[in-house]
Amino acid sequence: MKKLYIEKPVYKISNPVNWPPPPIGFKFNVDGSARGKPGLTGIRGILWDMEGKVHCLFSFLVGSKDSNMTKILAIQKACQLCALNTVLLGSNITIVSDSKVVVSWVNNNDGVGSLKHVDIIYDFRCLRNMMRGLSIEYNSRATNSLAENLAKMGSNMEGDIVVWGD
């Protein structure tokens, strides 16, 4: 599968009513979606700051996965992208997902789900522990609607995309 990495200027988005900006630092809204059960799944995310400037967008096809796994993979990808960006390493970053169960698993509050999730959640926890200022939060679907819509579009795309702003 072809991977496409694009550098573009920072975009500015209008602030949707149900999409509050982060109080400090950055917010990475993420989601995963499937096209059918089983079906192709995609993950997407959008990183933005207090002023509504978009700093990163990503979209990846992740094969045929269950819904919990796609949400775990979306959180993991956001964390990986933040870890690779030296500007973000010392920043406060909140990764937001609309899955209360998955957020509980990755925050080590309630097990790790089924055995098929163990390895990826363990890897994610190790990565998260290396990054200061990173937190994972649950927000309802209404407040994560942009990432949800992006994820649905991602499951219909071909190829992987990462777009970084300045």
pLDDT of residue 81: 92
How far is it, in rounded angstroms, from Cα 148 to Cα 1? 23
What pLDDT, in 10s, does the model give residues 9-61?
Answer: 344 444 444 556 677 889 999 988 877 776 778 899 989 888 888 889 898 98
How far is it, in rounded angstroms, from Cα 118 to Cα 102? 12
Q: Are 79 and 97 in contact (CB under 8 A)?
A: no
pLDDT of residue 108: 78
For the chain, list the domains and their CATH numbers.
3-164 (3.30.420.10)
What pLDDT, in 10s, does the model give residues 106-131?
Answer: 887 667 677 788 888 888 778 877 78
pLDDT of residue 6: 42
Name the more confident of 151 and 159.
Answer: 159
Q: Output the pTM of the full model.
A: 0.80
Residue 151 pLDDT > 70: no
pLDDT of residue 17: 41
CA distances from 12 to 45, 54, 64, 151, 166 (A): 16, 6, 33, 20, 12
